[in-house]
Structure 1
Amino acid sequence: MQLGEVLRRLAFNGLDALQGGKLNRLKEVNKREIVQGVTPEYIDRRIEKLLDYARENSPYYRKYKGAECLRDFPVLNKGDYLEHYEEIPCEGYSNKEKIYSLSTSGSTGTPFTVICDGDKMNRVNMNFISCMELNGFRMGMKRGEFRVWIPGKNTISSWKSFKNNLLMIDISNMGDDALAGICRRIQREKIQVLVSYSSALTALSRYISRNKIEVKDWSVEMIFAMGEALPWDTYHLLTEEFGFSPVRSYGNNENGFIAIQLGEEKGYTIDLYNFYVEILKLDNDEPASPGELGRIVVTDYYNKMFPMIRYDTGDTGIMELKTDKKGRVHGTLTEIYGRRGSLLFNCKGEPLSIHVFMNVLIHLEGIVHQAKCIQWDRTQYELLLNADREKIKEEEVVGLYRRYLGEEADIRVTYVDEIPIQASGKRMVCENRWKEK
Structure 2
Amino acid sequence: MIPLFDISLQVNGFPINKAKIELQKIVAFNEEEYKLFLENKKQEIVAFHLANNSFYQQLSGSKIISNWSDLPILNKHNLQKSLLERLSKGYSLKDIYINKTSGSSGTPFVFAKDKYCHALTWASNMYRFGWYGIDFNTSYQARFYGIPLDFFGNKKERIKDFLSHRFRFSIFDLSDLVLEKMLLKFKKSKFDYINGYTSSIVLFAKFLKKKGIILKDVCPTLKVCMVTSEMLFEDDKLLLEKQFGITIVNEYGASELDLIAFQNPNLEWQVNAETLMIEILDDDNQPVANGSSGRIVITSLFNKAHPFIRYDIGDIGILDKKSTLQKPILKKLIGRTNDIAILPSGKKAPGLTFYYVTKSIIEDDGNVKEFIIKQTRINAFEIDYVSETELHLEQIKKIEKAIELYLEPNLHFIFTRKERLERSSRGKLKQFKSMV
Length-normalised TM-score, structure 1: 0.70
CA contact (8 A) 1:30 1:127 kept: no
1:228 to 230, 240, 263: 230
Q: 1:118 to 1:294 in 2, by over 3 A?
A: same
State whether residues 195 and 225 of structure 1, in contact with CA within 8 Å, keep that contact through their aligned partners in structure 2: yes
**Map 1:231-250 → 2, pairs under 5 A:** 231-250=233-252
CA displacement at 1:165 relative to structure 2? 0.9
Q: Secondary structure at the match of 2:54?
A: coil
The 8 Å contact of residues 16 and 120 in structure 2, kept in 1 or not, is answered as no
Indicate how the Cα distance of structure 1 residues 146 and 11 shifts in structure 2: closer, same or farther if over 3 A, else same. closer
Which amino acid letter does the alignment assign opposite residue 252 of structure 2?
Answer: Y
Cα distance in 1 for partners of 2:72, 2:246 equals: 43
1:40 alignment partner in structure 2? 35
Identify if the C-alpha distance between structure 1 residues 434 and 233 changes in structure 2 by more than 3 Å, giving closer, same or farther.
Answer: closer
Residue number among 55, 61, 76 corresponding to 1:60 in the alignment:
55
* 1:22 match: 18
Structure 1 residues 127-146: aligned runs within 5 Å: 127-139=124-136, 140-146=138-144
Q: What is residue 356 of structure 2 aligned with on the other side?
A: none
Rate the CA distance shift 1:299–1:143 in 2: closer, same or farther, 3 A: same
Per-residue displacement from partner, 1:170-211 (whole Å, max 9, x unpaired)? Answer: 111222222212222233233322111111121111111111
1:277 alignment counterpart: 278
CA distance in 2, matches of 1:214, 1:261: 23
Aligned 1:17-416 pairs, distance under 5 A: 21-26=17-22, 28-29=24-25, 32=28, 39-62=34-57, 63-83=61-81, 85-94=83-92, 98-139=95-136, 140-152=138-150, 155=154, 156-215=156-215, 216-218=217-219, 219-265=221-267, 267-281=268-282, 283-320=283-320, 329-339=326-336, 416=377
In the aligned structure 2, how far is the partner of 1:144 from the partner of 1:41? 40
Distance 1:436 1:136, change over 3 A: closer
> 1:27 and 1:198, CA in 2 relative to 1: closer, same or farther beyond 3 A?
same
Preserved contact between residue 97 and residue 113 of structure 2 (Cα < 8 Å): yes
3-state SS of the aligned residue for 1:102?
strand
8 Å CA contact 2:318–2:333 kept in 1: the answer is: yes
Question: Quick check: 1:161–1:167 contact (8 Å CA) kept in 2?
Answer: yes
Could you say which residue in structure 2 is the equivalent of 1:3?
Answer: none
Query: Per-residue CA shift, 1:67-88, capped at 9, x if unaligned?
Result: 2122211112211111474443
Higher mean displacement: 161-170 or 62-71:
62-71
Return the alpha-carbon distance in structure 1 between the equivalents of residues 284 and 84 of structure 2.
Answer: 26
Give runs of ≥4 in structure 1 deviating > 6 Å: 35-38, 369-372
Q: Distance in 2 between matches of 1:38 and 1:236?
A: 39
Residue pair 1:31, 1:130 contacting (<8 A) in 2 also: no
Rate the CA distance shift 1:20–1:193 in 2: closer, same or farther, 3 A. closer
Amino acid at match of 1:337: I
Which of residues 2, 8, 11 in structure 1 aligns to 2:3?
A: 8
In 2, distance between residues paired with 1:114 and 1:371? 24
Query: Contact 1:90–1:305 (CA<8 Å) still a contact in 2?
Result: yes
- Say if 1:212 and 1:435 are closer, same or farther in 2 by CA, change over 3 A: closer
Change (3 A) 1:239 1:9: farther
Amino acid at match of 2:274: Y
Q: Does structure 2 conserve the Cα–Cα contact (< 8 Å) formed by 1:38 and 1:330?
A: no
SS in 1 for 2:80: helix
Which amino acid is 1:112 matched to? F
Contact 1:224 1:246 survives alignment (8 Å): yes
In structure 2, the gaps of 5 or more residues are 341-347, 352-374, 384-401, 407-420, 428-436
Q: 1:10 to 1:99 in 2, by over 3 A?
A: closer
Query: Are the aligned partners of 1:321 and 1:329 in contact in 2 as well (CA < 8 Å)?
Result: no
| Alpha-carbon distance in 2 for matches of 1:121, 1:263 | 25
CA RMSD of aligned residues (A): 3.6
Which deviations, in whole Å up to 9, do the C-alpha atoms of 1:113-172 show, x marking residues without a partner? 211221012111111111211222123211122122123596434432221112221111
Paired residues in the alignment total 349
Q: Matched residue of 2:329: which SS?
A: strand
Shift of 1:48: 0.6
> Is it true that 1:417 corresponds to 2:412 in the alignment?
no
| Worse-matched range after superposition: 201-210 or 228-237 | 228-237
Change (3 A) 1:172 1:299: same
Distance 1:162 1:191 in 2: 14
Report the Cα distance in structure 2 between the residues aligned to 1:123 and 1:55, rounded to whole angstroms.
23
State the secondary structure of the residue aligned to 1:80: coil
Conserved in 2, the CA contact under 8 Å of 1:38 and 1:273?
Answer: no
* Deviation of 1:57 (Å): 0.5
Q: CA deviation at 1:217?
A: 2.6
* C-alpha displacement of 1:98: 2.3
CA shift in 2, pair 1:240/1:157, >3 Å = closer
In structure 2, how many angstroms separate the alpha carbons of the residues matched to 1:38 and 1:249? Answer: 27
- Residue pair 1:27, 1:129 contacting (<8 A) in 2 also: no
CA–CA separation in structure 1 for the residues paired with 2:6 and 2:79: 39
Partners of 2:238 and 2:350 lie apart in 1 by 22
Aligned counterparts of 1:230 and 1:24: Cα–Cα separation in 2: 29
What is the distance in 1 between the residues matched to 2:232 and 2:168? 21
Q: Tell me the CA shift for residue 97 of structure 1.
A: 5.5
How far apart are 1:317 and its partner, in Å? 0.7
Q: Under a length normalisation based on structure 2, what TM-score does the superposition of the two structures give?
A: 0.70
Q: Secondary structure at the match of 2:296?
A: strand
Match of 2:230, as an amino acid?
E
Identity of aligned residues (%): 22
